[in-house]
Chains A and B, each alone.
Chain A
């Protein structure tokens, strides 16, 4: 039940609770209770909206930054990650296996702003050894959703 609820709301967090109940053969109260329980347990951590900023007049630049660090004595990577993720400009921080340690996703209004953040905030951190900044040129797909195309139903309207 939980998994099915999560699958639906992961792709459409605005789904009507009465509809969801009908889809799952349940009732609204049960669904609401499950949702509240999952919020309390921090299984559901938030409800966000997927926006294609390119289509708005708003300037946004995002970058994926590969960061190599030396973990601090006795604290491992978590403490370093915390120093990074507490900046509001930082969208996401992942600990990565492979040739670098963190993948940091950043958002800013301009290239300049992002570059400044890296050079003035991120790189100077004690434990950061090196950074490599990759600017995102175009977002094709995000959160399982293809950004570019509107899906149109091209089937014949009636068929046997």
Chain B
């Protein structure tokens, strides 16, 4: 029989997190701090609206770009929250999670050989989606000493004449790093100077703890026309399973993305779209409440790590902290595997998010205090034992 498989997809490694998942799956009693999704339930009024839409029989396809009413609400929301100005009709498409937006943006913009700059550690999909779109991923390893923010020199050094897109994954999964206005300004200058495009994944934008509102790179002068803006409901509104996100950008790019979407997906889930109207219109307070609770837990974990003398930079976004385990003289994977086997606590090796995650582990605080406390007690035992061993 002939080889049934496409070579490009066969050559892509399965996600590093998958391997770890398989080990954890064998240990049902392990305490996990390993998830990348909120522990909160979707606000009830959103769920109620979904039920209502089903009762009303709203079970048809929506338009390819998504419910107009929803897009208009989102445009309002983006203006209100981030000072962004998008035309809901021509510059926005509702997607199946932020994930689909990322995939489509690459497919709409890349030609074979085009390079995509990907600051790492980062979410796992930019790299494979670039490859599937025929592009060439070029990692930019971010440094702990810079709090995992992207520095202008790092960007400048990675640019070639093939560079087309810079991915901006902030607030960041897995590091929790954010880019504030003064961090973004020099990046914007370089992007414009080299005539690059930006794919900004701001799925965690509502979960920022700097005390200042989140700043979108798309809101800088001259950036809207060269930015694809990705966001969604998964993290901010605790709606991962609803599979709903959106992409905004220049209308020529969005038009091509809608074409891909139209043929590959048809439309984002209708029930989710109806529910999302309520989410975007009426849930600012629920989101604020979740943000506040995440922030408390973030402080709790940082303080616990400090008491254990574990080095950790202060992350200001998402719901992750990314402490350094370099002092123990083992790889991130080894550390996580031993922690799991010896103390039944699951955290994710930094290397699951790129080579530059070596030396760190991702701890998620999308868990109750009780859970965090139990896990941190065990981690404390573990590192105490490791330090004894290493003496």
Contact = CB atoms under 8 A, between A and B. Distances in A.
A156 interface: yes
B290 to A, nearest CB: 14
Contact of A22 (B21, B34, B36, B300): B300
A155 interface: yes
Interface stretch (B24-32, B249-257, B274-282): B24-32
B296 interface: yes
Interface string A24-36: 1100000000000
A160 B20 contact: no
Given A19-B369, A19-B373, A24-B296, A158 B303 contact: no
Interface residues of A, number: 15
Q: By DSSP majority rule, is chain A's interface helix, strand, loop, or mixed?
A: loop
B123 A160 contact: yes
B17 A157 contact: no
Nearest to B31: A157
Interface string B8-19: 000000010100
B36 A159 contact: yes
Given A19-B373, A23-B369, A153-B39, A158 B32 contact: yes
A37 to B, nearest CB: 21
B348 interface: yes
A158 B20 CA distance: 8
B36 to A, nearest CB: 5
Contacts, number: 56
A158 B303 CA distance: 24
Contacts of A24: 296, 299
B297 interface: yes
Interface in B187-245: none
Interface string B29-55: 010101111010000000000000000
B24 A158 contact: yes
Nearest to B16: A160
A134 B231 CA distance: 50
A23 B17 contact: no
Contact of A160 (B15, B39, B303, B346): B15
Interface in A127-160: 153, 155-160
A157 B34 contact: yes
Given A153-B39, A159-B21, 12 more contacts: A22-B303, A23-B297, A24-B296, A25-B303, A155-B39, A156-B21, A157-B25, A157-B32, A158-B24, A158-B35, A160-B124, A160-B173
11 contacts: A16-B373, A19-B369, A22-B300, A23-B297, A23-B369, A24-B299, A157-B21, A157-B24, A157-B34, A158-B17, A160-B15
Q: Report the 10 A-B pairs with minimum CB-CB distance, sorted nearest first.
A: A158-B34, A23-B296, A22-B303, A157-B32, A158-B21, A22-B300, A157-B24, A159-B36, A160-B124, A25-B299
Interface of A: 4, 15-16, 19, 22-25, 153, 155-160
Interface of B: 15, 17, 20-21, 24-25, 30, 32, 34-37, 39, 123-125, 173, 296-297, 299-300, 303-304, 346, 348, 352, 369, 373
